[in-house]
Each structure stands twice: as C-alpha cells, then as structure tokens.
C-alpha cells in the first residue's frame, strides 16, 4: 500500500458495530491539518497517487493550502507542501520520526565511512571504469558512428562503471583482457538491473508477487564477484528478504544515469549552454598539466573548478529529481511550521515531503520554473549562486535533490563526481548528436514520482562515436 497500517478500517467497522463513534484515521481532530479521504472507501487516493503523484499533490495543495493529510490504502499521509514549512520543521522532527527500518544503521555507517574516507579512491576508480566502459566498448567491435538511445547510453555507462567501482573488478592493475571481461560482466548486470528497474514502481507498490520478486532480485546476486567492497551493505530491509545487500547498493546507483541523460539532453537542446560548458572545459583542461587524452584520472582541481557545469547539474536536478522524502511519525506530536502555526500529527501518520513541487518548481522562487536555464545557479561574476528567496525570506535549501538534514544522501559527493566525470569524458572523447534536432524533450514516465530521478517515457535516439 502507499502507506502502511491497514487496521483503521477494521477499527471503524468495529466502532460502528458497537454503536460508539470513536475517532480513528477517518476523521479530522482539532489541530490537525485538513483531511482528504477521497471518494473510494479505504483505498482513498491510492490510485490517483500511483498514477501521477505530482499532479495529484498539486491539486490537493490548490484545494487545501500549504499542509494537508490524504488517505490512501488505509493509511494517512501528511504533506507539508510549501517550501517555507520545511526543512526547518524537518530538523525539529527528526528525533520523533523513524528514519530507516531497524537493522540498516550499521550498514549505513559502513557506507558513510567508505564514501567519506575513500572518496578520492572511489573517484579515481570510477574514472578508469567509465573510460573502459564508454570508450572500450566502442573500440572493441563497433568503431565509427552508432545510433543508440541517449538514456541507454548514459544509464548503461554509469551503472556499469559504478558497479565495477563499488563491487570490484576482475584484476587490478587492469589488463586488456580483464577489462574486456569487466565490460562483458557489467553489461549483463546492467541488462538485468534495467529489467528490474522498469518494474520498480510495481515492485514498490506491491503489485508483483513475492515469488516473482525473489526470482528477479536473485539474478542480481553478487555471488560472482569477491570484492571486499561487497561488505558495504545497504538497505537490507527485513521486509524485503529477497533484496540481498549488494543489490540495495546497486539500486542506489539508479539515479546517476537518468540524471546524466537529462543533463546531456538539455545541453544538446540548448546550444548556448553546450558552448558555455565546452568553453569552461577547455579553459580548465588547458590549465591542467597533462592533455586530457593521457589523463588516467581527472584531477580534483579540474572537477572542483567547473561552476558552469555545476550550475547545469543543479538546474537539471531541480527539474528532474522527484523523490518522496517520507518518515513515519512514531508518537503523537505537534509540528511547528515556519510561519508559527502548529499542527498535530498522530502516531502512524506518514509525513511526506515532495520538494519537486516546492521549492523546485515554485514560481515564487524560480522565474519560468519549467524552463531549463543553464546559468540559473550562477551569479553575474560566474560564481555559484546560492541566494534564492520566497516571500522575502532567503531559502536554506532552494533545491532538494539530495534530501535534507539528518538523512541527506550519503552518496552525494560520489554521485556528483561520477556524473561530472562522465559528462567530461563524453564531451572530450566523443561526438554526440541528436538524430532529429527538433526532437521534443520527452515527457516523464509518471509512475516514477517518488523514486528519485525521473525517467523519460521514451528514450531519445542519438548518433554517437568515440572520436578517432
Ligand atoms: C543523482 C544521484 C542521486 C540522487 C539524486 C540521490 C538522492 C537521495 C535522496 C533524496 C536521499 C534522501 C532520502 C531521504 O531522506 O529519505 C538519498 C539518500 C541516500 N543516498 Fe542518494 N542519491 C543519489 C545517488 C546516490 C549514490 C550513488 C549512492 C551510493 C553509492 C547513494 C547513497 C544514499 C544513501 C546511503 C542514502 C541514505 C542516507 C541516510 O538515510 O542516512 N545515493 N539519496
């Protein structure tokens, strides 16, 4: 179900039978946000929510204002829907809402150590693997121009290289043979991963059988490689026994590929933006000690000095990152809002933040919020722009693709450096063009709201080659 406990209906029936009108999840108590039950008993808004959560939540906001509670599948979701109501309130709340299911804390701590202590090593390994996957594949059989789907190209490259980086490679230092094996193996992993990824909305909504789930996840089992990185364990949720530890980690890498896809597509559709990124790249690479073709790693100095590319990335994520940030309320409590009002929340409510609507597409914060503007996150002097306002107040988090506060994305540094390295490699080593220059930016696959990066409804055909 969209949000768990399903016992309310039984309670309601029971209380009706007993002739006592006790209040449960189906009525609004004093001090609580407006409650919208929807027209279908128990199911509430579950169907509309699953079909297109963004439109549904925008409608609810229109109807009820900045904060409301909706019912779905017997549970209650409380939605603070205005940027000003959080994450100030979020910080207040964290002690009383449950961030992750029990059992995953130790795993997260291990990953935290890895991505913080070893970020440099991860970044270097990622560059080697990206080069091998992106450039090696092309030299192997198919040199010259290829027609491919842009999503497939980006997703495949980042997922495969990310898999090799975190799960280990055949042999290090690399030989040509071991790299070819890594490419073949990682291509298999990507293929299976992608099949599962396409089922993810259904998997998450529980509309696939457990047997089917176990079978599919089992295929991704990490039994075939013996890297010590495998001990990095994530999200081994008790409620999903078939999701082995390693798979959880793989699943977390499902965002970088689609992000790189949107980024490159926006560049291909905006020649001015592409020229600005290329210009920046030439300047920064020209200052580097080595020609880019000989670089075995991208110096951190290069990665850290690309404000135009940073702005393009921020703008891409503003437009396409749409995670639900949800927490379960574990005790009855009062939630203070930024404007001084206070609302009561009940134990068992699910608090749901959806930054995609606000702040990310809030017209009070961003002019033309639906439009890609490559320099939106740049000041006039070319430095990073951090000041955005709503109702005259500066926003602490003008865009929230990584979540905020206590549970902010742990892989952020690694994800950013992976995406930037990929874009740099494509722009410096490859030719990439749209097959039809007038192709429209595709619509979102609407079933994917809540999972992180949005994916397109259809892939975009491109012509691609590694430069001779
Ligand atoms: C474009 C890429 C990515 C985006 C947009 C993204 C976004 C997010 C968001 C929004 C959250 C917060 C969820 C919440 O508060 O409920 C999160 C959490 C997390 N992410 Fe990412 N992520 C990305 C890539 C990665 C990668 C590559 C890794 C690891 C290899 C990773 C590891 C994690 C972990 C471990 C958490 C949980 C942190 C915690 O609860 O303490 N992420 N991510």
- Ligand 1 centre from 412 Cα, in Å? 7
Length of the chain: 468
Identify the burial level of 389 via C-beta atoms within 10 angstroms of its C-beta, where 0-12 means exposed, 13-18 middle and 19 or more buried: exposed
Structure tokens at 288: 């580097």
Please give the residue that has the higher pLDDT: either 216 or 153.
153
What rounded mean pLDDT belongs to the chain?
A: 80
Highest mean pLDDT among 171-175, 370-374, 414-418: 370-374
- Ligand 1 centre from 315 Cα, in Å? 18
In this prediction, residue 84 carries a pLDDT of: 63
Residue numbers belonging to the annotated binding site: 96, 255, 350, 409
Question: 86-95, 254-263, 374-383, 443-452: which range is least confident on average?
Answer: 86-95
Structure tokens at 406: 């206590």
Residue with CA at minimum distance from ligand 1 atom 29: 411
In this prediction, residue 89 carries a pLDDT of: 55
End-to-end CA, the chain: 52
For residues 70 and 49, the answer to whether their CB atoms sit within 8 Å is: yes
CA-to-CA distance for 275 and 268, rounded, in angstroms? 10
**Ligand 1 contact via 119 beta carbon (within 6 Å):** no
CA-to-CA distance for 139 and 145, rounded, in angstroms? 11
Question: 75-89, 270-284, 384-398: which range is least confident on average?
Answer: 75-89
For residues 197 and 158, the answer to whether their CB atoms sit within 8 Å is: no
Residue 211 predicted with pLDDT over 70: no
Hunting for tokens 């790189």 — which residue is that? 260
**Ligand 1 contact via 402 beta carbon (within 6 Å):** yes
- Ligand 1 centre from 385 Cα, in Å? 23
In this prediction, residue 100 carries a pLDDT of: 46
In this prediction, residue 207 carries a pLDDT of: 54
Give the 3-state secondary structure of residue 466.
strand
Give the 3-state secondary structure of residue 110.
helix
Question: 192-196, 313-317, 460-464: which range is least confident on average?
Answer: 192-196
Please give the residue that has the higher pLDDT: either 305 or 290.
305
Please give the residue that has the higher pLDDT: either 404 or 271.
271
CA-to-CA distance for 236 and 248, rounded, in angstroms? 7
CA-to-CA distance for 263 and 78, rounded, in angstroms? 32
Residue 467 predicted with pLDDT over 50: yes
Instruction: Quick: pLDDT tens for 56-82.
Output: 999 999 999 989 999 988 889 989 887
CA-to-CA distance for 428 and 430, rounded, in angstroms? 6
For residues 302 and 462, the answer to whether their CB atoms sit within 8 Å is: no
For residues 235 and 107, the answer to whether their CB atoms sit within 8 Å is: yes
Structure tokens at 54: 């963004």
Query: Crossing angle for the helix pair 256-269 and 271-287, nearest 10 degrees?
Result: 110
Domains of the chain, earliest start first = 29-101+323-353 (3.30.43), 118-321+360-466 (1.10.630.10)
Residue 423 predicted with pLDDT over 90: yes
In the predicted model, what is the mean pLDDT of residues 407-414? 84
- Ligand 1 centre from 252 Cα, in Å? 7
CA-to-CA distance for 161 and 189, rounded, in angstroms? 11
Residue with CA at minimum distance from ligand 1 atom 39: 407
Instruction: Quick: pLDDT tens for 125-151.
Output: 999 999 999 998 766 655 689 999 999
In this prediction, residue 92 carries a pLDDT of: 52
Residue 96 predicted with pLDDT over 60: no
For residues 61 and 68, the answer to whether their CB atoms sit within 8 Å is: yes
Cis-peptide, bond into residue 72, ω within 30° of zero: no
CA-to-CA distance for 11 and 353, rounded, in angstroms? 28
**Ligand 1 contact via 255 beta carbon (within 6 Å):** yes
> β-pairing, 35-36 with 67-72?
parallel
What is the number of the ligand 1 atom nearest to the C-alpha of 408? 12
Q: Which phi and psi angles does 449 have, rounded to 5°?
A: -60, 135
Identify the burial level of 313 via C-beta atoms within 10 angstroms of its C-beta, where 0-12 means exposed, 13-18 middle and 19 or more buried: buried
For residues 123 and 297, the answer to whether their CB atoms sit within 8 Å is: yes
Residue with CA at minimum distance from ligand 1 atom 41: 407
For residues 450 and 321, the answer to whether their CB atoms sit within 8 Å is: no
- Ligand 1 centre from 5 Cα, in Å? 26
């Amino acid at each position: 179900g969209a949000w768990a406990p399903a016992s309310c209906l039984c309670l309601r029936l029971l209380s009706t039978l007993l002739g006592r009108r006790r209040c449960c999840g189906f009525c609004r108590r004093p001090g609580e946000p407006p409650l919208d039950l929807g027209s279908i008993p128990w199911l509430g808004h579950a169907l509309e929510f699953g079909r297109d959560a963004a439109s549904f939540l925008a409608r609810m906001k229109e109807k009820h204002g900045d904060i409301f509670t909706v019912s779905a599948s017997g549970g209650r979701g409380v939605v603070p829907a205005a940027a000003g109501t959080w994450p100030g309130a979020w910080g207040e709340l964290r002690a009383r809402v449950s961030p992750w299911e029990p059992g995953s804390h130790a795993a997260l701590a291990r990953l935290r150590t890895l991505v913080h202590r070893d970020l440099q090593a991860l970044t270097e390994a990622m560059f080697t693997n990206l080069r091998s996957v992106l450039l090696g594949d092309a030299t192997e059989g198919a040199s010259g121009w290829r027609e491919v789907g842009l999503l497939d190209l980006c997703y495949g490259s980042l997922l495969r290289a990310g898999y090799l980086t975190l799960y280990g490679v055949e042999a290090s230092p690399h030989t040509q043979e071991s790299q070819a094996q890594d490419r073949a193996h990682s291509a298999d992993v990507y293929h299976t991963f992608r099949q599962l990824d396409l089922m993810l909305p259904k998997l998450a909504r529980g509309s696939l059988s457990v047997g089917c789930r176990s079978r599919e996840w089992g295929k991704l089992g990490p039994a075939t490689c013996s890297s010590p990185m495998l001990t990095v364990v994530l999200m081994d949720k008790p409620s999903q026994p078939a999701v082995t530890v390693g798979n959880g980690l793989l699943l977390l890498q499902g965002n970088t590929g689609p992000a790189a896809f949107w980024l490159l597509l926006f560049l291909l559709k905006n020649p001015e933006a592409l020229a600005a990124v290329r210009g920046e790249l030439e300047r920064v690479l020209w200052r580097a000690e080595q020609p880019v073709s000989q670089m075995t790693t991208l110096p951190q100095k290069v990665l850290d000095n690309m404000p135009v590319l940073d702005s393009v990335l921020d703008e891409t994520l503003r437009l396409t990152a749409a995670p639900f940030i949800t927490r379960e309320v574990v005790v009855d409590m009062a939630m203070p809002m930024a404007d001084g009002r206070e609302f009561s929340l009940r134990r068992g409510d699910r608090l749901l933040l959806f930054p995609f609507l606000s702040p990310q597409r809030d017209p009070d914060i961003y002019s033309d919020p639906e439009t890609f503007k490559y320099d939106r996150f740049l000041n006039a002097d070319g430095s990073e722009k951090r000041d955005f306002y709503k109702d005259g107040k500066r926003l602490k988090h003008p865009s929230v693709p990584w979540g905020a506060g206590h549970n902010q994305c742990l892989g952020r540094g690694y994800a950013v450096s992976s995406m930037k390295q990929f874009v740099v490699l494509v722009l410096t080593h490859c030719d990439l063009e749209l097959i039809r220059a007038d192709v429209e930016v595709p619509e979102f696959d609407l079933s994917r709201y809540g999972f992180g990066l949005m994916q397109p409804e259809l892939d975009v055909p491109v012509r691609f080659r590694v430069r001779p």
